[in-house]
Amino acid sequence: MNTESIRVPDLGGAAEVEIIEISVKAGDTIEAEDSILVLESDKATMELPSPMAGKIVELTVSVGDKVSEGDVIGSMEAGGAGQADDGEAKDGQSKGEEDSSREAAARSEAEPGTKSGAQSGSGVEPKAEAEPKPGSKAETHTAPVSAESNARHTPAAATPADQEAGSAQVHAGPAVRKLARELGVELHRVIGSGPKNRITKDDLQGYIKQQLQNAQGGAATGGGALPAVKLPDFSQFGDVERSAMSRLQNLTAESMQRSWLNVPHVTQFDEADITDLEDFRKSQKAVGEAKGLKLTPLPFILKACAYALKAQPAFNVSLDMDRREVVQKHYIHIGLAVDTPAGLVVPVIRDVDRKGIWELAREAQELAAKARDKQLKPAEMQGGCFTITSLGGIGGTAFTPIVNTPEVAILGVSRAAMKPVWDGKAFQPRLMLPLSLSYDHRAVNGADAAKFTTLLSRLLGDLREFML
């Protein structure tokens, strides 16, 4: 057979694109359009398809190498299953053909619904692989984690098309996708730790391990997976439209449900008199304009929370329930919940206790802008000790925020309103800020929560407290 070089096809103008996964090895027999390796540019993850059917002779690149259009990455012998030489075809298939046929059959059996040539042309395109069809062999190779997955796979909970669309949006290589299908795992439920949140085999195995632990824990307590909510056929009531949840929506939903089910929530309500704080804040308007900043109440709330976290370290912990340990943190990083068109994100301001009001104002403004523009880096959303979520710009008098685990408390801030407050002699108009502190009752008791909100109210009511 003829040996031909494997070259990188048109990459749509991209150059020096990094190889993040190699899907084949020397000696493998593959079909035309089968994935040889996976590339990742600044804009997309893409698979490099085989230009022909045949056998891989060698690959001259490794993971981490960078390639451009026209680069030679290896060589292969042309001719795949069913393409024997004339002399070999006379008495039937050769042993090599039989092996190739068996590999092709195994591939089609493990990946039902896929077709050779799924990618158009010889260029590189993102490839969304199909989920196993009901009744296929791949569906029967389900790990014990499927007890939870099967509940989520019911038609009432989500249609196969919805699940496929959700999994197709995540970053994962062919080997990871194939393993996920065999184990019955929906990839959009797995949080990736690779570049740009790419899902690795370790991520997948860690997810499966966690689900197994959850299932065994439920069995030990006599419980089990929560029953799925059965949805009616909404189309019988009127026109409907379905669309796949975004990855951010999936992550938020999973995180909120996980926190609500695992954390015993209690919410402490209070009010802070911010009349004097508002007068001071407005007096700094000209200074803020000179600095190119808008001074909002948020930097003062951040500073007050940092002060309170130092005064009451029980709020600056995480619980390791597996090891039955309390992790006390000696740093103060505070997350800010930001509502964006794509969903809720929580950038983190580090070392809040060491920064001044203007520095906090600038950093909060910059992080909020980056969140809205989808420019936050993973490191900018990690390491939080405590979270602040504010609905003051929208309205409301109080709410019960969900703890952002593994943190143990979150402060909700509602819209300030003028109220009559008795000063001992008469009612005075005062600007009152509603505070809602939700906390993990395993780590924090009610008395400490009341002390925390009382301290916050005092700090926000009199700025001189910050100097003590």
Name residues whose C-beta falls within 8 Å of residue 227's C-beta, 6 or more positions apart in sequence: 151
3-state secondary structure of 205: helix
Alpha helices, DSSP H only, in 263-380?
Answer: 275-283, 285-291, 298-311, 357-372
Tell me whether strands 334-336 and 386-390 are parallel, antiparallel or unpaired: parallel
Distance CA 140, CA 444 (A): 45
Nearest to 96 by CA among 2, 1, 182, 25: 1
Cβ contact 68:15 at 8 Å: yes
Find the helix packing angle between 146-153 and 201-220, rounded to 10°.
Answer: 90
Cβ contact 312:340 at 8 Å: no
Cβ contact 431:273 at 8 Å: yes
Cβ contact 162:188 at 8 Å: no
The amino acid that residue 289 corresponds to is E
Inter-CA distances, 10 with 4, 71, 121, 122, Å: 18, 10, 10, 8
The span from the first CA to the last CA of the chain, in angstroms, equals: 84
Known catalytic residue: 171? no
**Catalytic one of 141, 153, 188, 441:** 441
One DSSP character per residue, 394-407 reads: T--S---PPP-TTS
Cβ contact 461:276 at 8 Å: yes
Strand ranges (E), 128-234: none
Q: What amino acid positions are annotated as catalytic residues?
A: 441
